[in-house]
A and B are shown apart, each in its own frame.
Chain A
Amino acid sequence: MHALPPAPPPPPRRQVFVGTALAGAGVVTLVGGMLAVWILQRERALDAGSSWVPDGVTIPEVPSNVMLISIWGLCVFAQWAAWAARRDDRVHAGLALGLVGVVGAAIINAQAFVYSQMELPVADETGYGAMFYAVTGTMIALFVAGLVFTGVSAFRYLGGRVMDREIVAAHALFWYVLAAAFSAVWLIVYVTK
Chain B
Amino acid sequence: MSTTDITDTAVTSAVPSDEAARAGGLGALATWFTTADSKVIGRNLIGTSLLALLATAVVGALLGAERIDGADSLIDADALPQLFTAYRVGLVYGVLVPLLLGIAVAVVPLQLGARSLAFPRVAAAGFWTWLGGLILTIVALADNGGPGGGNADMVDLYLAAQALMLIGLAAVAMCVATSVLTTRAPGMRMSRVPFFSWSALIASVGLVLALPVALGVVIYLYVDHHYARALFGGNTGVGSWTAFVLTQPATYLFALPAIGVFAEIVPVTFRKRMPLRPVVLTGLALVGVAALSIVTQQPLHELPWSGSGLSFDEFGTKFGDLLPYALFMLLPLLGAVIVLALGALAAKPEGTSPRLTPSFLFAFFGLGMILVGMVGGALLPITDLGLQGTVFEEAATVYVVYGGVLGALGGIAWWLPKWSGRVVPSGPAMGLALLGVLATILAALPYYIAGFADQPAATGTYDYEGPSALWNTLALVGHGLMALVVLGFAGLALRPARGRAATQGVGDDPWGGHTLEWLTTSPAPAVNFQEVPTVMSPEPVLDLHGPEGAER
Contact = CB atoms under 8 A, between A and B. Distances in A.
Interface of A: 1-10, 13-15, 18-19, 22-23, 25-27, 29-34, 36-37, 41, 122-127, 129-131, 133-135, 137-138
B12 to A, nearest CB: 8
A136 to B, nearest CB: 11
Interface string B197-216: 00000000100111111111
Contacts of A36: 297
Nearest to B224: A130
With a 10 A CB-CB cut-off, give which of B220, B519, B532 has the most chain A CB atoms.
B220
B142 to A, nearest CB: 27
A34 B220 contact: yes
B216 A127 contact: no
B226 to A, nearest CB: 8
Interface of B: 3-11, 118-119, 170, 174-175, 177-178, 181-183, 185-187, 205, 208-217, 219-220, 222-224, 227-228, 230-232, 295, 297, 508, 519, 531-535, 540, 544-545
Given A7-B187, A131-B220, A131-B224, 15 more contacts: A2-B8, A2-B545, A5-B4, A6-B531, A9-B532, A13-B182, A19-B119, A33-B212, A33-B213, A37-B216, A122-B227, A125-B230, A126-B231, A130-B227, A137-B223
B113 to A, nearest CB: 8
23 contacts: A1-B8, A1-B10, A2-B8, A2-B544, A3-B533, A4-B6, A5-B534, A6-B534, A8-B186, A9-B532, A10-B185, A13-B183, A15-B178, A19-B175, A19-B178, A22-B177, A29-B209, A29-B295, A30-B215, A34-B216, A34-B217, A134-B219, A137-B219
Given A4-B533, A5-B4, A29-B295, A34 B219 contact: yes
B208 A25 contact: yes
Contacts of B8: 1-3
Given A3-B10, A134-B220, A127 B533 contact: no
A7 B220 CA distance: 50
Contact of A127 (B119, B214, B228): B228
A2 B210 CA distance: 43
Contact of A25 (B3, B209, B216): B209
Given A15-B182, A33-B217, A5 B177 contact: no
Tell me the interface secondary structure of chain A in the complex: helix
A170 to B, nearest CB: 11
A120 to B, nearest CB: 11
Contact of B7 (A3, A30, A31): A3
Contacts of A25: 208-209
B224 A3 contact: no
Contact of B534 (A4, A27, A125, A133): A4
B231 A22 contact: no
B494 to A, nearest CB: 28
Contacts of A34: 216-217, 219-220
A18 B5 CA distance: 33
Contact of B216 (A4, A5, A15, A30): A30
Contacts of A126: 230-231
A26 B532 contact: no
With a 10 A CB-CB cut-off, give which of B217, B222, B228 has the most chain A CB atoms.
B228
B362 to A, nearest CB: 28
A129 B227 contact: yes
B207 to A, nearest CB: 9
A131 B205 CA distance: 28
